[in-house]
Chains A and B, each alone.
Chain A
Amino acid sequence: MSAMTDILLSLLILTGALFTFVGSLGLARLRDFYTRLHGPTKATTLGVGCLLVASAVVFSLEGDGLSLHEILVTLFLFITAPVSAHLLARAALHLKVKSLAPAPERPASSPARD
């Protein structure tokens, strides 16, 4: 492994771990459910994305041939993260969870259909 790839990998792993950490920090630190929702859905998704890219590079260099199936998990996370976030937000609105921002007050905001 050359010095360049070593540095690149270290950077990717460090960025990934940092974003994972910050996402959970947001989950622990922010003050209402709706703001907490933002940490894990975005920061953590990118964090895991970085780690998976690092993993793809490692196994492509060490194993035989290109290793791309890490893309699969990244893709899956990027598709599912907004869906779970949306459902969680809807569940919270449905249960009238306490919000820092003034919650919308209108009958039309009842859920459409499923």
Chain B
Amino acid sequence: MRRLLPHPLLSLSLTVLWLLLVNSFSAGALVLGALLGWLIPFATSRFWPEAITVRQPGVLLRFLGVFAWDIVRGSFQVAWLILRGPARLQPAFVEVPLALKTDLGISLLANTISLTPGTVSAQLSADRQVLLVHTLNTDDPVALIIEIKQRYETPLRQIFEPENRS
């Protein structure tokens, strides 16, 4: 099973992507999509040294819900801050200490931060311990760090790095 289908999640998403791209759900498109979804992971296997495993799909679903809601909330907040004018903004750089260890976890956290309320991840330190985050408007950087860690990092750790849980 592992040898025949090394990355089931990747194969599934490639198939769905193909169906969306041709914008038809006929049997032919499905067969071709499934074939591509099966072949492409082999052709690109050097980029995927280890398979992605999702523990606790329930936590993942909850995280996606929080994430989607925060994108909408964040967009409205940023829009409001822009319309209110630059004079009253308090931008700041904050450093978020990371508990995540894997490449996947860190990159997902960085992308989540960039898409959510008024924050952009700016740089990862050389020792991969600290993520530098720029925020558009904050009056309490410590609260922001705690919010990021509780809201995004904890569920990401539960989903992708359960063995490192403290």
Chain A: residues with CB nearer than 8 A to chain B? Answer: 18-19, 22-23, 25-26, 29-32, 34-35, 37-39, 41-43, 45-47, 65-69, 71-72, 78-79, 81-83, 85-86, 89-90, 93, 99-104, 108-113
* Chain B 50-83 near chain A by CB (<8 Å), digits 1 or 0: 0000000000000000000001101100110111
Q: Check if A46 sits within 8 Å of B71, measured CB to CB.
A: yes
Q: Check if B91 sits within 8 Å of A34, measured CB to CB.
A: yes
* Chain B 72-106 near chain A by CB (<8 Å), digits 1 or 0: 10110011011101100101110100000000000
Least distance between B122 CB and chain A CB atoms (Å): 4
Q: Identify the stretch in B1-9, B40-48, B129-137 within 8 Å (CB) of chain A at 4 or more residues.
A: B129-137
Rounded to whole angstroms, the CA-CA distance of A49 and B119 in the bound complex is 19
Are A82 and B114 also in contact (CB < 8 A) when A39-B78, A89-B120 are?
yes
Are A32 and B132 also in contact (CB < 8 A) when A39-B78, A82-B121 are?
no
Instruction: Return 14 A-B CB contacts under 8 Å, by A number.
Output: A18-B79, A19-B79, A38-B118, A38-B120, A42-B75, A82-B110, A82-B113, A86-B121, A86-B122, A89-B122, A93-B132, A100-B89, A102-B92, A112-B128
Q: Check if B134 sits within 8 Å of A19, measured CB to CB.
A: no
Least distance between B73 CB and chain A CB atoms (Å): 10
Least distance between B142 CB and chain A CB atoms (Å): 15
Rounded to whole angstroms, the CA-CA distance of A85 and B122 in the bound complex is 8
Chain A residues within 8 Å of B126, by CB: 108, 110-113
Rounded to whole angstroms, the CA-CA distance of A19 and B79 in the bound complex is 7
Least distance between A18 CB and chain B CB atoms (Å): 8
Least distance between A112 CB and chain B CB atoms (Å): 5
Q: Check if A35 sits within 8 Å of B89, measured CB to CB.
A: yes
B127 within 8 A of A: yes
Q: Check if A22 sits within 8 Å of B82, measured CB to CB.
A: yes
B23 within 8 A of A: yes
Partner of B122, one of A39, A45, A90: A90
